[in-house]
Chains A and B, each alone.
Chain A
């Protein structure tokens, strides 16, 4: 049984960390949280596969961690404040990860931020991302994909 539709479901490119999301991502997020501890960071660095065995990740979550699929981790229940612990472990910045999740390089992402960030206009509703410009970007939310269309390429 899935929960009723929510009024935030139509925000594009956004994974609201609600109860359903949190349940799905619990083990993944708790793995990420464990990297706050120096000894755990050392253990994960020494043998990532063995370290991940300590957490009840799904095969998809495990793969997303090992391949550093930042968007995939969110889609599988990750929360950015938790998954960012893994990015810190890798020596990455929010610009690296923000770019990776939105299909840009770090430099492109940083440039967008310095120019004032991603504007709200055209980015409030999923329907605004549905156009025929051929971008294959996922619209986010990972549920209620009533039609799996894709948005324009001029949002960066």
Chain B
């Protein structure tokens, strides 16, 4: 594919630039707090104060495209069809009705050309993606956008959603997620455009929504997860599902999606920002911004 590359006057190939990776929780109550103007309330203000630097960083980074890796929560997909990895190639992604009407957020503009390039590249790279031409995006995708951008009239970037099944056991392994991230990076490095891209890995951190153990939070696990995500992602990618479920709660398994983001970055990264906040709703909320060195 390099033969088709556009090149600068000095002969350097023009490819998409991966500006950063962001790991963030995608708690629906955070979206509701934003939509309902409750960010200043005592319960919410400490969290929103903490993420203010992230919004400032995003405004500065000003990406053209955000790839958001998240899990659908019985919105676009159901138990009828359960894709392990799916990529949205649509021109537009409307917010989903999750039971209380769609969130009052903009319809996200897609990037079909780059999304189809990713689908083709990933499948030929032996990641058998499900290709999705029409899908609403639920809080798993819209809340990270709200966290990053606040409440603009239009999202300031185009969106490529990548969905990972983490609801029906078994989710893909952490290792597989990390490898998917690496394959996404190979695809971006072969894309003959000059888009600036940020990739989000979302979900987690520790939380358990179900059963008699509901409310489990393991802040120590979350800190260690972030440390290893930065310094030794290969070791973190080897952690199995039962350890996540036991230590970080049954829904803590969502953290494997952060490994997709991490896999797309270089082995050596710079940690720009880190936020931890307990609780948002029933969840330990975490956010990390990583830049290539």
Query: What residues of chain A have their CB less than 8 Å away from a CB belonging to chain B?
Result: 6-8, 11-19, 21-22, 26, 29-30, 32-33, 35-38, 41, 71, 74, 79-82, 84-85, 88-89, 93-95, 97-98, 101-103, 109, 112-114, 116-120, 123-125, 137-140
Given A80-B210, A85-B74, A88-B98: A11 in contact with B246 (beta carbons within 8 A):
yes
* B29 at interface by CB-CB < 8 Å: yes
Given A81-B167, A85-B98: A138 in contact with B247 (beta carbons within 8 A):
no
Query: In the assembled complex, which residues on chain B have CB atoms less than 8 Å from the CB atom of A125?
Result: 246
Given A14-B250, A94-B282, A120-B247: A113 in contact with B215 (beta carbons within 8 A):
yes
Q: A15 near B247 (CB under 8 angstroms)? A: no
Q: How many angstroms between the C-alpha atoms of A137 and B211 in the bound complex?
A: 11
Query: In the assembled complex, which residues on chain B have CB atoms less than 8 Å from the CB atom of A95?
Result: 281-282
Q: How many angstroms between the C-alpha atoms of A41 and B215 in the bound complex?
A: 28
Given A22-B79, A113-B282: A120 in contact with B218 (beta carbons within 8 A):
yes
Interface residues on B, range: 35 or more
Q: List 28 A-B contacts (CB under 8 A).
A: A11-B213, A11-B245, A13-B211, A14-B208, A17-B168, A18-B169, A41-B99, A71-B212, A79-B167, A80-B210, A81-B73, A81-B74, A85-B74, A88-B98, A89-B99, A94-B282, A95-B281, A97-B209, A98-B282, A102-B212, A103-B212, A113-B281, A117-B215, A118-B215, A120-B216, A120-B218, A124-B247, A140-B211
Given A8-B241, A81-B167, A114-B279: A139 in contact with B212 (beta carbons within 8 A):
yes
- B249, chain A: closest CB distance, angstroms: 8
Q: How many angstroms between the C-alpha atoms of A81 and B149 in the bound complex?
A: 26
| A6, A37, A41, A102: the one within 8 Å of B213 (CB) | A102
Closest Cβ neighbor of B78 among chain A residues: A33
Q: How many angstroms between the C-alpha atoms of A109 and B216 in the bound complex?
A: 11
Q: A101 near B211 (CB under 8 angstroms)? A: yes
In this complex, which of B97, B206, B210, B217 has the most chain A Cβ atoms within 10 angstroms of its Cβ?
Answer: B210
Q: How many angstroms between the C-alpha atoms of A14 and B253 in the bound complex?
A: 13
Tell me the residues in window 170-223 of chain B with beta carbons closer than 8 Å to chain A beta carbons.
170, 206, 208-221
Query: In the assembled complex, which residues on chain A have CB atoms less than 8 Å from the CB atom of B219?
Result: 116
Q: How many angstroms between the C-alpha atoms of A22 and B165 in the bound complex?
A: 14
- A81, chain B: closest CB distance, angstroms: 5
Query: In the assembled complex, which residues on chain B have CB atoms less than 8 Å from the CB atom of A71?
Result: 211-212
Query: In the assembled complex, which residues on chain B have CB atoms less than 8 Å from the CB atom of A19?
Result: 168-169
* B242 at interface by CB-CB < 8 Å: yes
Q: How many angstroms between the C-alpha atoms of A24 and B281 in the bound complex?
A: 29
Query: In the assembled complex, which residues on chain A have CB atoms less than 8 Å from the CB atom of B217?
Result: 113, 116-119
Closest Cβ neighbor of B97 among chain A residues: A36
Query: In the assembled complex, which residues on chain B have CB atoms less than 8 Å from the CB atom of A114?
Result: 43, 279
Q: B96 near A36 (CB under 8 angstroms)? A: yes
Q: B209 near A38 (CB under 8 angstroms)? A: no
Q: How many angstroms between the C-alpha atoms of A109 and B241 in the bound complex?
A: 26
- B227, chain A: closest CB distance, angstroms: 17
Q: How many angstroms between the C-alpha atoms of A88 and B278 in the bound complex?
A: 23
Q: A124 near B246 (CB under 8 angstroms)? A: yes
| A16, A21, A80, A138: the one within 8 Å of B212 (CB) | A138
Q: B211 near A14 (CB under 8 angstroms)? A: yes
Given A80-B210, A118-B213: A94 in contact with B169 (beta carbons within 8 A):
no
Q: A118 near B74 (CB under 8 angstroms)? A: no
Query: In the assembled complex, which residues on chain B have CB atoms less than 8 Å from the CB atom of A118?
Result: 208, 213-217
Q: How many angstroms between the C-alpha atoms of A80 and B282 in the bound complex?
A: 13
- A112, chain B: closest CB distance, angstroms: 6
Closest Cβ neighbor of A101 among chain B residues: B214
Closest Cβ neighbor of B241 among chain A residues: A8
- Apart from A80-B209, A88-B99, 20 more pairs, CB < 8 Å: A13-B212, A14-B211, A14-B213, A15-B250, A16-B245, A17-B167, A22-B79, A30-B79, A71-B212, A81-B73, A82-B79, A97-B214, A98-B214, A98-B215, A113-B215, A114-B279, A116-B278, A117-B217, A119-B218, A124-B246
Q: A88 near B100 (CB under 8 angstroms)? A: yes
Q: B242 near A7 (CB under 8 angstroms)? A: yes
- B284, chain A: closest CB distance, angstroms: 7
